[in-house]
A and B are shown apart, each in its own frame.
Chain A
Amino acid sequence: MDHPIVTVLIAMLGGAIRVSTPFMFVALGETLTEKSGRINLGLEGTLVLGAMVAYATSYLSGNPWLGVLAAGGAGVILGGLHGYICKLPKVNDIAVGIAFMSFGTGLAFFFGKPFIQPSAPHLDSIHLGDWTGNPALAQALEVNPLFFVGIGLAIAMAWALKNTKWGLIVRMAGDSAAAAKAMGVSVDLVRFLATAAGGFMAGIGGAFLSLYYPGIWNQGLSSGQGLMAVALVIFARWDPIRCIIAALLFGAAGAIGPSLQAIGITQGYYFFNAAPYILTLVIMILSAGSKGAAREAPGELSITK
């Protein structure tokens, strides 16, 4: 075997690629929603429901990609409901989000019962590392197509928010509802569509969990990943490209705990397992002090008002 540090680095690379995708999709969905001026904390519920729907659809139809699509559809429904309820007067989007978190997970547990035991067809991966001749590296470079879809989506989103009319309208709804109304834009409609689209992405993140990695459906599948991804959006300052970097960093840090134990550093695993959270906190503290940080937050968010 290679040098221990190489082993850990390969594990971190593999972890970044394997674990990051659900964070990526949820964070991108939340970025779009928050850019339009709403917060949807319910994406944890969307992620879990998406995972369940994807697994069930893949099992019943035999086609995992149909499962991915169905998960996105479930996300659209949850996101759309959130978007619709939040436009009613005097409704707080954070409270509705928390309700949707419980609603989504509850719904998934209720309907997901018969699908815990069966094995559904999984998504295939692309083998990018077979030429290396190193089994660990080859495994780390086994990449699911959704990973590339996520990166492509982030680039497209970053470009569209900056350079297209639609992007401008979303940002305007998020930064100043009054200005958007003066321009004749229906702020509620923009936010409704942005929340539904955000739900679509979070649902696909769930499909990755149940159909690729770890590739099962059970009630402990997400264990809070959807919530962490929402937090990553603040960490990434509402920038799709930085969402990708944050998700990769988070995935890599998550691989530190198990891989350190694998090379023989066995003491203190509770501490190393907490590495992703510690890392996030440290970077947040280091970066939050700057004046630029405050400017990047959408002005209409209820947390910044």
Chain B
Amino acid sequence: MPFNNLSRRTLLKAGAATLASVALPFGIARAQTAVILGIVYVGPKDDFGWNQAHAVSVGTLKALPGITVVEEENVPETDAVSKSMESMINLDGANLILATSFGYYNPFVVDLAKKYPDVQFRHAAPLWNKDKDPANAGSYFPYLNQAHYVDGVAAGLSSKTGKIGFVAAKPIPSVLSNINSVLLGARSVNPAATVQVIVTGDWSLPVREAEATNALVDAGCEVITCHVDSPKVVIQTAEGRGVKTCGHNASQAPLAPTGFITGAEYKWETIYKSYADDIAAGTPLPNFLVGGYNNDMLRNTAYGAGATPEAIKAADAAIEALKGGFKIYTGTLKDNKGNVVVDKDYDNYDPYLDGMGWLLEGVQGSTT
């Protein structure tokens, strides 16, 4: 390393390593098995949404022996995340870094992975490219649309008309897939079910989310669900209007004591625990880890007062089917403009579905 690139931290690290090798011969042996996990969040850990979902999972890891967790929240997707991750590595001795926001990956995670080849970096979006990116980096991501399918099944049987309202942040593939999966789930139990979409335009716009929820209720929707960063406003407003709700990202059950049906939740702890086990056993971590119900990466929130007994039964059956490899996008399906968009049975992880740019027939809404 050229002298002018020698950062204060690199210098400190070298000094500390020298000291440690002299004074603490057993310290290094201990460091090989212990997992010191550093995790960075983009927002507050208690946002009733994306960040909370991660934080809750990490919380379950803290109880396991041999794991130390270092957390930092509200880290913007800028140079700040590099500094957070570097201080976790140098000051706390982290050997596994989890970067949980989309914009952390390039260049921050990629650059640090090159600088610290002994530290494992994993990022929560399917972005790792085996040809270009360092071997000690990687991606993990559960396909939440499977849990939204279960939401759709439960919503279809918990309402009279099967009219479901969906507040969507942006018309991007992962959001569209959640909308389509809600429809297919609802249609599997009620062929007349429909989904009405209102797009707000950004991840967090509380006033417009409330307006959208009110508009959907006024249009006659009996169940409201959403894909926005923090679903608190949507669930709370819908509960106030006396309609039922399905959650997203984390458990919103406490916000809707009378109308909550169930919700789509990530089960990040499955991934985090498998990482921890691999490190403890000395086996290399998988670079690319995606999944769904079939490998225990998702869950649905415990049923609330809004779920009818039939809905609970059918939703439980749908979860079992998904665990067994049930395919969501099958047969011939048309989009809401009349084009055939699905002409065969697609696997739930088929790359074709990752590029989804359509809403199925039965969804009232538009992608532009």
Contacts and interface: CB of A to CB of B under 8 A. Distances in A.
B196 interface: yes
Contact of B197 (A11, A257, A266): A266
B207 A214 contact: yes
Contact of B206 (A7, A11, A14, A220): A220
Interface of B: 43-44, 46-48, 196-201, 204-212, 214-220, 230, 232-233, 236-237, 241, 254-255, 364-366, 368
Contact of A258 (B212, B220, B232, B368): B212
Contacts of A214: 206-207, 209-210, 233, 236-237
A139 B368 contact: no
Interface in A191-248: 209, 213-216, 218-221, 223, 225
A267 B368 contact: yes
A269 interface: yes
A264 B364 contact: yes
Contact of B211 (A7, A117, A221, A255): A255
Given A119-B255, A214-B237, A215-B236, A1 B204 contact: no
Contacts of B46: 116-117
Given A258-B198, A261-B365, A216 B206 contact: yes
B204 A261 contact: no
A273 B48 contact: no
B202 to A, nearest CB: 8
7 contacts: A116-B44, A119-B236, A136-B218, A215-B210, A218-B44, A218-B206, A218-B230
A269 B230 CA distance: 21
Contacts of B210: 18, 213-215
A289 interface: no
Given A139-B214, A267-B366, A117 B208 contact: no
Contacts of A119: 236, 254-255
Contacts of A264: 364
A270 interface: yes
B204 A220 contact: yes
A262 B233 contact: no
B218 A7 contact: yes
A223 B205 contact: yes
B211 A258 contact: yes
Contact of B198 (A1, A219, A220, A262): A262
B357 to A, nearest CB: 15
A11 B215 contact: yes
Contacts of B47: 116-117, 218
Nearest first, the 6 A-B pairs at minimum CB distance are A266-B366, A220-B204, A214-B210, A262-B215, A117-B46, A262-B219
Contacts of B48: 116-117
Contacts of B208: 254, 257-258, 273
Contacts of B197: 261, 266
A255 to B, nearest CB: 6
A193 B340 CA distance: 67
B211 A15 contact: yes
